[in-house]
């Protein structure tokens, strides 16, 4: 499994502390989304036609790795893990990423 990351998960030491593993990483871009990072808040992305987000692709994650990262990201509450296609120097790559949960953003008055 591949995961597109754009915020705190771009730090290899953090990912290693959460999963106990290191992953092959390469620069990537996610089109059709915009990144938002307000003071006092975590970075998040939302769908946005014509925009793109630069980040990194983590390759070779297993189910246990994703569960650990889901816990860290508050998947299902703060973020939703969704399927997307990222662009890399190797071409398009199907992957997943964490997109802001608009219900949580409204509840926390982050938007």
Tens of pLDDT, residues 62-109: 999 999 999 999 999 989 999 999 999 999 999 999 999 887 766 656
Per-residue model confidence (pLDDT) at position 18: 98
Model pLDDT for residues 43-53, shown as the tens digit of each residue: 899 999 999 99
Q: How many domains does the chain have?
A: 1
Range of the domain at 82: 2-108
CATH number where 24 lies: 3.10.490.10
The residues annotated with a catalytic role in the active site are 73
Mean pLDDT for 7-19 is: 96
- How much of the chain, in percent, has pLDDT values that exceed 70? 94
DSSP string, 22-91: --EEEEEEEEEEEEE--TTS--EEEEEEEEEEEEEEEE---HHHHHHHHHHHTBTTTEEEEEEEEEETTE
**Whole-number mean pLDDT of the chain?**
92
pTM exceeds cut of 0.85: yes
- How much of the chain, in percent, has pLDDT values that exceed 90? 81
């Amino acid at each position: 499994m591949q995961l597109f990351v754009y915020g705190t998960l771009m730090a290899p030491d953090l990912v290693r502390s959460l999963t106990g593993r290191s992953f092959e990483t390469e620069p990537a871009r996610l089109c059709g989304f915009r990144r938002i990072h307000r003071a006092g808040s975590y970075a998040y992305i939302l769908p946005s036609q014509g925009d793109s987000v630069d980040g990194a692709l983590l390759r070779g994650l297993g189910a246990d790795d994703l569960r650990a990262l889901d816990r860290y990201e508050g998947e299902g509450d703060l973020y939703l893990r969704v399927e997307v296609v990222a662009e890399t120097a190797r071409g398009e790559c199907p992957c997943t990423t964490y997109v802001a949960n608009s219900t949580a953003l409204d509840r926390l008055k982050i938007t």
